[in-house]
Structure 1
Amino acid sequence: MSKEQYLTPSRASGPNSTSKTEPFVKVVACIATLGGLLFGYDTGVISGALLFMGDELHLTPFTTGLVTSSLLFGAAFGALISGHFAASAGRKKIIIILAAIFAMGAMGTSLAPDVNWMIFFRLVLGVAVGGAAATVPVYIAEIAPANKRGQLVTLQELMIVSGQMLAYISNAGFNAAWGGHETWRWMLAIATIPAVALWIGMMFMPDSPRWYAMKGRLAEARQVLERTRAKSDVEWELTEIEETLTEDENKGKPSLRELRKPWLLKLFFIGVGIAVIQQLSGVNTIMYYAPTMLKAVGMSTDAALFATISNGAISVIMTFVGIWLLGKLGRRTMVKIGQFGCTACLLFIGCVSYFMPETIGGQPDVMRGYLVLLGMLMFLSFQQGALSPVTWLLLSEIFPTRLRGIFMGGAVFAMWIANFLISLAFPVLLSTVGLAGAFFIFALIGLMGAVFVVKCIPETRNRSLEQIEHYLHDWLSNDVETRPMPAPKREIKSH
């Protein structure tokens, strides 16, 4: 394929395609992203359950952090393991296995007799969460047509925040109906239902056409493309996939040893940076500890649980906005909007917590609590409306087809390790430097992340996965001077 062809989108697989999305693609995306729903529910439900399990499990500030962050530690290794096996076992098989682990982890946490078993099963659950985070976006990116890839991959983020909102509603609902002290185990057990649905649904789904082609199973790759593309698009895209894989056929089994190549090492570290800055914003301290923080600034338990639902609702609404914006703006622009906006909101929360009095006339300052909540909602508007959706999309796009699974696993491993460390440290930060100090620290980290965004984020919009791979190779090998991809010069009508 000539350089002009990979820099210029084709009618068949590029953004200029007028073909409608085949209904089967939407079915595949909806079923696969049940993994995202489970990801969101299992990470969000702990925020409310922590308020009630403490007495029964005898939690301390440190073990509270362990219960929350053990899932994240497991997720780091789940991402690494699933990424390692994604190329050999296939995206579909990995997701089926993860569904079974989701179900086992959900039941285990709901039946845990003490804190040790709770931490163990949260680790198990984390393996599934991390594996889903690394595998589902890749599966959808490889099965979606290029002109709809942004919206379909971002469905994963929508399902994550929807899962978190369902968790918050579940927490508040159980507490209102029966009292959380008796029903926190049911809060955790409900996640078994979508896990079973994911397991059954994926049994009937195909693997991605790029994985089939990578394994030399071209007939099956063609069958999947015929079910997920318009007839006029199938031949062009299959040829493009074959040509790219032909270039890689003498490179051996994919492994992290590929990082000895300078351009791949640079690309991998860019991917790690994209993954980590999303977590270093402190987003999951808000998602996991929102009721705890709101209680710390004067809200009652019932008010804090109810107010946390607004975090879930704004996340879902703004993810729809993010999906819409991805059709209008470039990936690089979206990351900058999200990073700068989140950092400003962290400063706002820190200032409110530091400068406003905790009490007025001996009573908690209610306005302080609601301004902190407002800061959280503004933060989540930028995080879920810009930064998080484009993070998963970029990670699913920038790595070469042959190495996508293993590099994605490594990047998501780094993401979950960062998430683990922040979530483990937050209760300690809250008890030492206070809410204001914690958020000032996150804001400082956010400023450093903004420098990375400006200097290192590439623009990948409006290109097929194969065109992105060729472009990034040339850019990182210093053959292309400008960071953003050149605008399309013309439309290629045929291959």
Structure 2
Amino acid sequence: MPNSATDTTSSHLPPLTPGPYRRRLGLMSVIACFGGLLFGYDTGVINGALRPMADELGLTAITEGVATSSLVFAAAVGAFFGGRISDAIGRRRTIIVLAVLFFLGTVVVVLTPNVGLLVTGRVCLGLAVGGASTVVPVFLAELAPYEIRGSLSGRNEVAIVIGQLAAFVINAILGSTLGHLDHVWRYMFAICAIPAVCLFIGMLRMPESPRWLVDRGRHQEALEVLRTVRPEGRAEAEILDVEDVAEEEREVRTGLGAILANKWLLRILLVGIGVAMAQQLTGINSIMYYGQIVLIQSGFGANAALIANIAPGIVAVIGGFIALYMMDRVDRRTVFTLGLTLTTLCHALIGVSSRWIPEDNPIRPWVLLFLIVAFVASMQTFLNVAGWVWLAEIFPLHMRGVAIGVSVFFGWMTNGLLALFFPQMVASLGITVVFFLFAGVNLLALIFVRTQVPETRGRTLEGLEEDVTTGQIYVVGK
């Protein structure tokens, strides 16, 4: 696979210089990343809320799985259509709609009297989570200068893990102080109404993606947006590149049909699907959703597991910030390779430890907690941020919304199947076998990355677009 850090499209652009545009980009990323924060909180809150929720609503093992996985399967649908909707009405408007969905879903879950409405609210939240998972990274990638695109668009993944950590911490606090109340889980869910309101109000003041505006023929608006987020003189040079590539691609913009008819576009779509699925098949969200259950299986008591579950959340955030530092300094493929090597090793060690350390040995839960924390740290440092950044930048403009939607749809479906069946897998196979299976899948994902995933770091979106469309991105030595 090629390993290029520059391209001809970027070489003639004026360099980035210090200026107020960086503060503007920072503000835009903070506002948009409330979508990632909501993504993280809504997927992580179930970890501690599930047990009191099951007690109050009388959930069975099956309905627990349905309540958890309904959000994830709905997220697959939200991801699939979120990209298409953002292509039609714009990235900014779509994120505003998603903020409304986040708020409405939260209200339904908090006020639900039964399982039926609970699942309805979770589905609403899932549609919003899935939409945010596709639209927010694209919005940030299309706003960012190519030199800092990785670290800027990667902030969304850091916001996701911050949201998950916030859920774990709030769950632990509320569980410890108000655990005697049957409805304590409702308070856990109610918290996420706050960032939903912040996202809605904040996005009302944000501009539209300049690349989407060019794609809709609104060139002057796009230039005005670029002038606010680029150094003096850079916007005029960059808008010409965007306009040239948009004009070249205008003749092939027929959506999914065009992708299927072009072998290179089809190939990059399949690679995108593979990256999204590999990210989920690491098993990261099995820990994020069912971490308390895994820790109880490891030997912790219920309350101790709830508190210990904060540790993976903390290292996830730390790993996310380290990943941001690496995004514009280390090639994506190198980061993927390191991550999958480490996660494979962690899974194998978890399997070995759970098999050979007796259940009555007091060191067993602590060893397994350490290895779980090491796995989460490896995943968040090397795979999660890089995966979302890569998906947001690899696809050509005319297929970006559709392609990232399809890719993330398969990722969320994989996530949903794991969420639905993970408790039964642990119950029937035990954590030893389950984590050995994860190790085997991670090894296959490592081979896939090394043989199929092209490099994207240090290249403009327009430069990538040309090489993806023609297949030049796969030429060795490019």
Match of 1:490 in 2: none
1:328 is displaced (CA, Å) by: 2.0
Q: TM-score, normalised by structure 1?
A: 0.92
Match of 2:199 in 1: 198
1:126 is displaced (CA, Å) by: 0.3
1:304 is displaced (CA, Å) by: 0.7
1:448 is displaced (CA, Å) by: 1.1
Q: Distance in 2 between matches of 1:272 and 1:145?
A: 26
Q: Distance in 2 between matches of 1:173 and 1:466?
A: 48
Match of 1:270 in 2: 271
1:479 is displaced (CA, Å) by: 8.1
Q: Which amino acid aligns with 1:51?
A: R
Q: Distance in 2 between matches of 1:323 and 1:367?
A: 34
Q: Which amino acid aligns with 1:416?
A: W
Residue 71 (structure 1) aligned with residue 71 (structure 2): yes
Contact 2:29 2:152 in 1 (8 A): yes
Q: Distance in 1 between matches of 2:18 and 2:393?
A: 21
Residue 452 (structure 1) aligned with residue 445 (structure 2): no
Contact 1:154 1:392 in 2 (8 A): yes
Match of 1:123 in 2: 123
Q: Deviations over 1:451-478 (max 9, x none)?
A: 101101111111110011122234x3x6
Match of 1:481 in 2: 475
Q: Which amino acid aligns with 1:408?
A: I
Q: Distance in 2 between matches of 1:259 and 1:397?
A: 20
Q: Determine helix, strand or coil for the equivalent of 1:366.
A: coil
Q: Deviations over 1:416-468 (max 9, x none)?
A: 00000011110110110011111111111111111101101111111110011
1:70 is displaced (CA, Å) by: 0.8
Q: Which amino acid aligns with 1:167?
A: A
Q: Determine helix, strand or coil for the equivalent of 1:141.
A: helix
Residue 418 (structure 1) aligned with residue 419 (structure 2): no
Q: 2:394 aligns with which of 376, 394, 398?
A: 398
Q: Determine helix, strand or coil for the equivalent of 1:126.
A: helix
Shift in CA distance, 281/479, structure 1 to aligned 2, threshold 3 Å? closer
Contact 2:16 2:231 in 1 (8 A): no
Residue 94 (structure 1) aligned with residue 90 (structure 2): no
Q: Which amino acid aligns with 2:374?
A: M
Shift in CA distance, 301/472, structure 1 to aligned 2, threshold 3 Å? same
Q: TM-score, normalised by structure 2?
A: 0.96
Shift in CA distance, 111/389, structure 1 to aligned 2, threshold 3 Å? same
Match of 1:298 in 2: 299
Q: Distance in 1 between matches of 2:193 and 2:355?
A: 42
1:6 is displaced (CA, Å) by: 4.6
Q: Deviations over 1:59-115 (max 9, x none)?
A: 222221111111100000001111111111000011000000001111111122122
1:253 is displaced (CA, Å) by: 4.2
Residue 383 (structure 1) aligned with residue 384 (structure 2): no
Q: Determine helix, strand or coil for the equivalent of 1:250.
A: helix
Q: 2:369 aligns with which of 370, 373, 381?
A: 373
Count of aligned residue pairs for this structure pair: 471
Q: Distance in 2 between matches of 1:425 and 1:325?
A: 34
Match of 2:133 in 1: 133
Q: Which amino acid aligns with 1:353?
A: S
Q: Which amino acid aligns with 1:380?
A: V
Q: 1:431 aligns with which of 427, 431, 440?
A: 427
Match of 1:52 in 2: 52
Q: Which amino acid aligns with 1:105?
A: G
1:116 is displaced (CA, Å) by: 2.2
1:366 is displaced (CA, Å) by: 3.0
Contact 2:252 2:258 in 1 (8 A): no
Q: Which amino acid aligns with 2:111?
A: L
Q: Distance in 2 between matches of 1:80 and 1:268?
A: 13
Q: Determine helix, strand or coil for the equivalent of 1:231.
A: coil
1:248 is displaced (CA, Å) by: 1.5
Match of 2:349 in 1: 348
Q: Where in structure 2 are the equivalents of 1:133-282 lying within 5 Å?
A: 133-179=133-179, 181-282=182-283
Q: Deviations over 1:24-64 (max 9, x none)?
A: 11111110010000000000000000121111122222221
Q: Determine helix, strand or coil for the equivalent of 2:10.
A: coil
Q: Determine helix, strand or coil for the equivalent of 2:45.
A: helix
Q: 1:461 aligns with which of 445, 454, 457?
A: 457
Q: Distance in 1 between matches of 2:474 and 2:340?
A: 26
Q: Deviations over 1:105-162 (max 9, x none)?
A: 1111112212222122111110000000000000000011111111011100110000
Residue 328 (structure 1) aligned with residue 335 (structure 2): no
Q: Deviations over 1:180-206 (max 9, x none)?
A: 634111001111110011011101111
Contact 1:10 1:17 in 2 (8 A): no
Unaligned runs of 5+ in 2: 1-5
Q: Distance in 2 between matches of 1:182 and 1:247?
A: 57
Q: Deviations over 1:294-347 (max 9, x none)?
A: 112221122111111111110001111111112321011001111111111111
Shift in CA distance, 321/105, structure 1 to aligned 2, threshold 3 Å? same
Q: Which amino acid aligns with 1:225?
A: L
Q: Distance in 2 between matches of 1:104 and 1:184?
A: 17
Q: Distance in 1 between matches of 2:357 and 2:259?
A: 53
Q: Distance in 2 between matches of 1:9 and 1:130?
A: 32
1:19 is displaced (CA, Å) by: 4.8
Q: Distance in 1 between matches of 2:257 and 2:166?
A: 38
Q: Which amino acid aligns with 1:206?
A: P
Q: Distance in 1 between matches of 2:402 and 2:110?
A: 32
Contact 1:7 1:471 in 2 (8 A): no
Contact 1:62 1:428 in 2 (8 A): no
Contact 1:41 1:160 in 2 (8 A): yes
Q: Determine helix, strand or coil for the equivalent of 1:230.
A: coil
1:243 is displaced (CA, Å) by: 0.4
Q: Which amino acid aligns with 2:242?
A: I
Shift in CA distance, 480/194, structure 1 to aligned 2, threshold 3 Å? closer
Q: Determine helix, strand or coil for the equivalent of 1:433.
A: helix
1:224 is displaced (CA, Å) by: 0.3
Q: Determine helix, strand or coil for the equivalent of 2:426.
A: helix
Contact 2:454 2:474 in 1 (8 A): no
Q: Distance in 1 between matches of 2:43 and 2:362?
A: 28
Contact 2:253 2:398 in 1 (8 A): no
Shift in CA distance, 9/193, structure 1 to aligned 2, threshold 3 Å? same
Contact 2:350 2:371 in 1 (8 A): yes
Q: Distance in 1 between matches of 2:257 and 2:99?
A: 27
Q: Distance in 2 between matches of 1:130 and 1:321?
A: 25
